[in-house]
Structure 1
Amino acid sequence: MVFPLGFLARLPYAMTPLGTLLLLQHATGSYAFAGAAAAAQSLAIGAGGVIVGRLADRTGIRQLGVFMAVANAVALAGLLAATFADRPTLFAAAVLVGATQPQVGPLIRVHWSYLAQSRPEQPGLMTTALSYEAAADEASFIAGPAVVGLLAATWAPVPAGAPLTACIVLLLAAAAPVALLYTTAPERMPSRSATSPLPRAGLAAMCAAMAVMGAIFGTVQVGVTAHATAVDNASVGGLLYAALGAGSAIASIAYAWIPSRMPLRTRYRLFALGLLIAMILLPASGTRPPLAAVVLVAGIAIAPYMITIYAITEQLAPTRAAITMTIVCAAGPVGTAAGQALAGLLVEQAGPRAPFMLPPVLAAAALLLAMTNRMTSANHGPCPNDTVGTKTEQAASRA
C-alpha cells in the first residue's frame, strides 16, 4: 500500500507550485506578483522541511505526517479563500502553504530507513526502496504539471482554482492515509536519538551535493524553456521535460540491480563522473532531436547520483534520519532557485543556448565534492567503504 499511495501523496508537492502560480495570476492579473509569491512559497517549503524533520525525530513520523497533510489541506483552502482578499493576505497564504508542506518524499525515505534497521536480514531493502522512491519522484514531477494543465483547461467553474482543489483531495485521500502506514522508529534505537549530535561535516557535504544537483535542474529547466521559446513551439519544452524525467525514472528503477557489494563511496564517485560526462554533452547538442537525446541521457545520469546521496545521508545518522533527510532535501530547491536565477541572466545576456554552459561546470563541482568527501559518519570519523545495506544492519545490531 505504501507504493501506490506514496505516489499519489507526492502529487500535491508537484502540483502546488504551478497551481499557486496560476491561481495568483488569475486573482491579481500580475505575473510578477504571482512569481514572487510562488518563489516565497518554495523557500517556505525548504524552511518548513527542516522544521518538520526536527519535529519528526521527537514526535515520530507517523503522527507528524498525518498532522502536516491535514494542515497543508487547510492552508490550501485558506489560499483559495484568500483570492478575495488583498495582496498581502494572498502572499501570506501562499507562504503558509509552503511552510505546511507534509514532506512526503523525505518522510517516506525515513520510513524505509526505519524498516531496514528493523530487518537486518534484508540488506538490499534500502537500495530497492530508494530506487523506487526516486522513480516515483520523477513520475510525479511529470504527471503533476500535466494534471494541473488538464484541470485548468477543463474544469469550467473556477479553472484557476481546480488544481489546488485537487491537491486538497489528494492530501486527505492519499498523503494522510500513507502517513498512517509509516514505520515507527525501531525500539532498539537509543532513547536519546532525537538529541544526539548531527554529523555536521557529512551533512554539509551532502547538502552541497544536493544543492549542486538542484542547480543543474534549475539551469536545464531554464535552458529547455528558452530553447522552446526560441523555436516558437511551447510543446518542445514539454517534450524535453518529459525526456529528462523519463531518463531519470528508468535509471532509478535500474539502480536496484547494481550489485550490493559495490561500496557507496565507489558509487558516489562513479556516478558523479557519469553526471559530468552527460552534462558535457548538453552544450554540444544542436537541433531538437540531438538535444532530446542528450536530455534523456542527462536524466539517466542524474538518478543514480541522487539515489546515492540519499543512501549516504541515511547512513550518516540512522537514529536521526528524519532531520538529515529533510535537511538534505531542502538543499535541492535552494540550488534550483540559484540555478534558475543565474541561467535567466545568461539567457538575457547571451541567448537561449547559454544556460547549457552551466551544467558541465556544476557537474565538475559535484565530482570534486565526491572525490574530496570523506563521508563523515555520526561520530565525525570517516565512514568505511560499506556496501549498501551493511551499515544499516550494523546500526541495528549495535542498538
Structure 2
Amino acid sequence: MSNPYKEIFSVPGAKGFSAAGFFARLPIAMAPIGIVAMLSQTRGEYWIAGAVSATFALTNALAAPQISRMVDRFGQSAVIVPTTIVSVMAFVFLILSASRDWPEWTLFVSAFLAAAMPSIPAMLRARWSEIFRDRPELNTAFAFESAADELVYIAGASLSVGLAVSLFPEAGMLISTIFLAVGTAAFTLQRSTEPAVRPAEAGTARTSAIRLRSVQIITLALVFVGSMFATAEVTTVAITKELGQPGAASLVIGVYAVGSFVLGLVLGALNLRTPLHKQLLIAVSVLAVTALPLLIADTVPLLALAVFLSGIAISPTFITAFGLIERRVPESMLTEGVTWVMTGIGIGMALGAFLAGWVVDNFGAQNGFWLSVAAGVAAVLTISLGQRTLSGGRPELATSALPQAAE
C-alpha cells in the first residue's frame, strides 16, 4: 500500500517550505498563551494578562485577512516580509515592556502592532493548493497541515508555558519571536513553490471572501472552536497553579492535541465518502461532547485526561473546514478565504482568553471550563444551521460575492 504522505512530499520544494512554515507558525500557539504566562507573573493579575493577549489575538484575527487579501493580489513574498518585520519589532517591545515594568498602555500598543504577523497556515495551504488543485492529494496535504497545526499547539503552547515557568517570565515570548523571524525568512526565500498571482474572477475584484455565505458559517463556527482552545489553556494554567503544581500546566496543555494529531494523520490517508459538510458536523459534535469531562477534573491526572479527550476532534474539524473552503472559494481569493477561517479561531481565542481570565479571577479556576462547554454547543448549532449552504458545489460566486446575483 502506497504512503500518501510520501507522495505529496516527493514534489520538489515541498519538504523545504513545509519545514520552514512549521517554525514560522509556532508563534500562533506560543504568543497568546505566552503573553498570559509572561504577564500573569510580571504583573500578578490574570485579567490584564488575558486582556493584552486578547488585544493581540483579536487584532491579528482582523488584520490577517486583509494581509492575505494583499497576498492574493501581490504575492506572498511582497507582503510577508514587511509585515513580519513590524510584528517582530513589536514583540520585542512587548517583552521589554513586561520585563522593565513600563506603563500598561505600552503592553497594549505593542500587542496591537505585533498583530501584523501574517497567517502562515494560509500561505502553506495556498502552496499545497497550487500544487495539487483538483487532485485527491490535496486532501492528504490539508490533513497533514491540520495535523501540523495540532503539533504546533502541542509543542508551541506547551513550550511557551514551560519556558516561562521554568526559566523566566519572558522566555516563552522571546523564543516565539525568534521562531517568527527565522522561520518566516526561510519560508519566503523558497520562491519556486510560491503560488502565482491569479487574476480575479469577473465581479470579485473588489469583493472580500468573507461575503461568501459558506465562509461566514465556517468562520463563525471556528470562533467558538477557538474560544474552546483559549479557555482550556488559560483555565489549565490557573487550575494547576491553584493545585500547587504550576509546572504541570506545560504537560497538560501538551497532551491537549495529541489524540487529534494522530487521528488527523489517519484521516489524511483515507478517502472518506461522507460529504465534507456532514464530516464537519460530526467533528464539532464530538468536540462539544468531549468538553463535558473538563467540568469534573479536579486533580492534575484527571485534568490531563479530560484535556486529552476534549482535543480529539480538533484536527478532523480543521481538515473538513479547510477542505470546504478550498471547494467553495474562488482560486483568486483562496488565501484570504483560508485566513478568514484562521481568523475565526483567532477571534475565539481572544475572546476565550479574556473571558476565561475574568471567570477565573471572579468565580474560581474550575468554572472557566463552563465557557468551553457553551462554545462547543454554539459551534454545533452554527454548523447544523449551515448544512444546506455548506453542501453546495464549487465555487461559491452567486450568493454573497456578487450582490446583483440572486441568492
**TM-score of the two chains, using structure 2 as the length reference:** 0.78
Q: Which structure shows the bigger proportion of residues in helix conformation?
A: 1
Which residue of 45, 52, 55 maps to 2:70?
Answer: 55
After superposition, give the CA deviation of every residue in 1:208-229 in whole Å (9 maximum; x if it has no partner): 1101101222332244234323
Match of 2:123 in 1: 107
Structure 1 residues 192 and 137, CA gap change in structure 2 (3 angstroms): same
| Distance in 2 of aligned mates of 1:20 and 1:30 | 12
* Residue pair 2:224, 2:376 contacting (<8 A) in 1 also: yes
Indicate whether 1:323 and 2:336 are aligned: yes
Q: Aligned Cα RMSD in Å?
A: 3.4
Structure 1 counterpart of 2:77, which letter?
R
* Residue pair 1:75, 1:96 contacting (<8 A) in 2 also: yes
1:312-391 equivalent positions in 2, closer than 5 A: 312-319=324-331, 320-347=333-360, 351-373=364-386, 374-375=389-390, 378-380=396-398
Describe the SS at the equivalent of 2:289. helix
After superposition, give the CA deviation of every residue in 1:273-309 in whole Å (9 maximum; x if it has no partner): 2223322333355654344323212211222112211
| Distance in 1 of aligned mates of 2:34 and 2:91 | 10
Indicate whether 1:92 and 2:101 are aligned: no
Following superposition, the deviation at residue 206 of structure 1 comes to: 1.0
| Distance in 2 of aligned mates of 1:150 and 1:335 | 23
Following superposition, the deviation at residue 268 of structure 1 comes to: 1.4
Q: Choose 335-344 or 244-253, whichever is displaced more.
A: 335-344
Indicate whether 1:306 and 2:323 are aligned: no
* Residue pair 1:52, 1:326 contacting (<8 A) in 2 also: no
Which residue of 192, 195, 206 maps to 1:184?
Answer: 195
Following superposition, the deviation at residue 207 of structure 1 comes to: 1.3
Structure 1, unaligned runs of 5 or more: 383-399
* Residue pair 1:20, 1:94 contacting (<8 A) in 2 also: no
Structure 2 counterpart of 1:359, which letter?
S
Aligned identity (percent) is: 25
Structure 1 residues 15 and 239, CA gap change in structure 2 (3 angstroms): closer
| Distance in 1 of aligned mates of 2:49 and 2:358 | 20
After superposition, give the CA deviation of every residue in 1:195-247 in whole Å (9 maximum; x if it has no partner): 35644321211111101101222332244234323422223332221121212
* Residue pair 2:158, 2:253 contacting (<8 A) in 1 also: no
Match of 1:392 in 2: none
Structure 2, unaligned runs of 5 or more: 1-15, 401-407
After superposition, give the CA deviation of every residue in 1:132-159 in whole Å (9 maximum; x if it has no partner): 222222222333345446666888xxx6
| Distance in 1 of aligned mates of 2:347 and 2:43 | 27
Structure 1 residues 175 and 191, CA gap change in structure 2 (3 angstroms): farther
* Residue pair 2:201, 2:330 contacting (<8 A) in 1 also: no
* Residue pair 1:219, 1:359 contacting (<8 A) in 2 also: yes
* Residue pair 1:274, 1:301 contacting (<8 A) in 2 also: yes
| Distance in 2 of aligned mates of 1:32 and 1:359 | 18
Following superposition, the deviation at residue 19 of structure 1 comes to: 5.1
Following superposition, the deviation at residue 256 of structure 1 comes to: 0.3
Describe the SS at the equivalent of 1:353. helix
Aligned length: 374
